[in-house]
Amino acid sequence: MIGLDTNILVRYITEDDLAQSRRVRQVFETVLSTENPGFVSLVVLVETVWVLESGYGLSAEQIAFAVERILQSEVLLVQNEGEAFRALIMMRQGSADFADALLCELALQAGCSRTLTFDRKAARLPGFQLL
């Protein structure tokens, strides 16, 4: 297994730097496999979403498509993939941004009865409570 940093996923998705994108594509095609996947931590996944939104100005639907592409890749192993997928569904439904939805899913998975927040939008999610 090979760990992947945020900038690798951003190049994979955006292909905005020809030289770096070519190198990333080569790694995805010749180095990574189902037996030797690229590991995507939750930190990298959330950072990738943040970069795509704030740095590239992608819409929520474009970001959802990118996250889905990552989750469905046969050569990537995403940490807590089930929770990430459920967060993607919440994001697509417009219930929350990806980070809040993922936080909600992880807290529920950990057995939390609720997650306290001052974020009014996040408080609309099941498992959050406005403080």
Domains along the chain with CATH numbers? 2-130 (3.40.50)
- Which tens digits make up the pLDDT trace of 69-105? 999 999 999 999 999 999 999 889 877 889 999 998 9
8 pLDDT more than 90? yes
Q: Identify the band that residue 63 occupies on the pLDDT scale cut at 50, 70 and 90.
A: very high
pTM of structure: 0.89
- Which tens digits make up the pLDDT trace of 10-60? 999 999 999 999 999 999 999 999 999 999 999 999 999 999 999 999 999
Residue 68 and residue 60: Cα distance in Å, rounded? 12
